[in-house]
């Protein structure tokens, strides 16, 4: 039986495994009926938490989820989606502005076939947009009953704290959840994000707990690199000749050996590790196929002992991202030289 967890301090209870739907649609599994079968099996197995985004296959993922939840299943699902990414050629069809939020929430509601969204998340930070502008629009949507709670994704610790400060000082609805990347190979959020989330009572939904496929068990030394749609889209992140990826390959190989010694698959080890952190509410799994879902179900029932956790720490030290690419977001202060150089 699934042991549900508190969703921060909201009083809502969610499953430790959250079904992510990024792989439903043309970028992964284009078969709507098969995707619905996967969703229904997840729900029948005790998962009550589903996460999607308007950007996943340009909205088609939301449409698939909406169709799968029709006919009475919607009421028992905690449904999360996100906004931010560009969805058109118009420069205002993106971002974190009030103008876009109040328009795009209606599109998501229509695609999802629902009257409300349980968790509406800011998919990425946007430093040039005042976060009070964003929180003001989201607060209005809460009061209108169109969304229940506000979340963020891949925000830096200072931005998470700023959001709490804005809510308190300016009478906005509070952000109650953060969705950061977290895996055996990307442990950077252990330094500040997770402690900050605990301090403010935020729910944490970790994305990419299998490190984008690196912890699927297919990346091993001496084994040809598997074909992957993600590798086609992000070749730099999966080039095993790159120094940071060579380090990930070595770590994945060592972790796979550790999992085998512990009587687990690498997938089970990876998911159980993420879920064992006291700050983590749910790990987002993103199966493309029914078999992939089956391989991940039940990981929330596994507890790793201290010896296994200590050996994991020896392979990938706490607070370490083996590749900077896995942080999910790099602030303009690092990507734009003009932000660090006085005009001459």
* Domain residue extents for the chain: 14-340
What pLDDT does residue 343 have? 83
- In percent, the amount of the chain with pLDDT more than 90 equals 90
- CA 1, distance to chain mean position in Å, is 24
Distance CA 55, CA 223 (A): 33
Distance CA 77, CA 80 (A): 9
What pLDDT does residue 242 have? 82
* SS3 track for 53-107: CCCHHHHHHHHHHHHHHCCCCHHHCEEEEEECCCCCCCCCCCCCCHHHHHHHHHH
What pLDDT does residue 229 have? 58
- Sequence-distant (6+) residues with CB within 8 A of 136 are 98, 170, 172
Distance CA 194, CA 187 (A): 10
Low-confidence stretches of the chain (pLDDT beneath 50) = none
Q: What is the pLDDT of residues 52-90, one digit of tens each?
A: 999 999 999 999 999 999 989 999 999 999 999 999 999
What pLDDT does residue 240 have? 74
Q: Is 200 a catalytic residue?
A: no
What pLDDT does residue 244 have? 83
φ/ψ of residue 98, rounded to 5: -55, -40
Q: How buried is residue 177: exposed, middle or buried, by Cβ count under 10 Å (0-12/13-18/19+)?
A: buried
What pLDDT does residue 344 have? 76
What pLDDT does residue 222 have? 67
DSSP state at residue 115: S
Burial readout 262-281 (b: 16 or more C-beta within 10 A, e: otherwise): bebbbbbbbbbbbbebebbb
Residue 120 in 3-state DSSP?
A: strand
φ/ψ of residue 301, rounded to 5: -100, 0
DSSP state at residue 11: S
Look up the CATH number of domain 14-340.
Answer: 3.20.20.100
Catalytic residue among 56, 120, 182, 219: 56
What pLDDT does residue 202 have? 98
Q: Torsion over CA of 163, 167, 173 and 179, rounded to 10 degrees?
A: 20
Sign of CA dihedral 141, 22, 252, 47: positive
């Amino acid at each position: 039986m699934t042991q549900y967890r508190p969703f921060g301090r909201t009083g809502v209870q969610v499953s430790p495994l959250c079904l992510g739907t990024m792989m439903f649609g043309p970028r992964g599994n284009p078969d709507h009926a098969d995707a619905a079968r996967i969703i229904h099996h997840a729900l029948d197995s005790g998962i009550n938490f589903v996460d999607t985004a308007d950007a996943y296959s340009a909205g088609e993922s939301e449409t698939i989820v909406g169709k799968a939840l029709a006919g009475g299943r919607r009421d028992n699902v905690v449904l999360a989606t996100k906004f931010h990414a560009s969805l058109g050629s118009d420069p205002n069809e993106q971002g974190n502005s009030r103008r876009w939020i109040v328009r795009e929430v209606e599109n998501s509601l229509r695609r999802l076939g629902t009257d409300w969204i349980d968790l509406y998340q800011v998919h990425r930070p946007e430093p040039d947009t005042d976060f009070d502008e964003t929180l003001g629009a989201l607060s209005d949507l809460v009061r209108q009953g169109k969304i229940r709670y506000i979340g963020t994704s891949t925000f830096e610790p200072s931005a998470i704290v700023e959001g709490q400060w804005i809510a308190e000082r300016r009478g906005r609805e509070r952000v109650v959840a953060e969705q950061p990347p977290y895996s055996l190979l990307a442990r950077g959020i252990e330094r500040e994000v997770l402690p900050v989330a605990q301090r403010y009572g935020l729910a944490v939904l970790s994305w990419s707990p299998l490190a984008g496929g690196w912890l699927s068990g297919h990346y091993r030394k001496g084994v040809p690199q598997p074909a992957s749609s993600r590798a086609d889209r992000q070749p730099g992140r999966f080039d095993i000749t790159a120094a940071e990826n060579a380090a990930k390959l070595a770590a994945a190989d060592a972790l796979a050996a550790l999992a085998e010694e512990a009587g687990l698959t690498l997938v089970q080890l990876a998911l159980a590790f993420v879920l064992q952190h006291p700050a983590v509410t749910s790990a987002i799994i993103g199966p493309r196929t029914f078999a992939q879902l089956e391989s991940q179900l039940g990981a929330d029932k596994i507890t790793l002992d201290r010896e296994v956790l200590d050996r994991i720490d020896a392979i990938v030290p706490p607070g370490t991202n083996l590749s900077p690419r896995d942080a999910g977001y790099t602030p303009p202060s690092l990507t734009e030289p003009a932000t660090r150089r006085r005009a001459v």
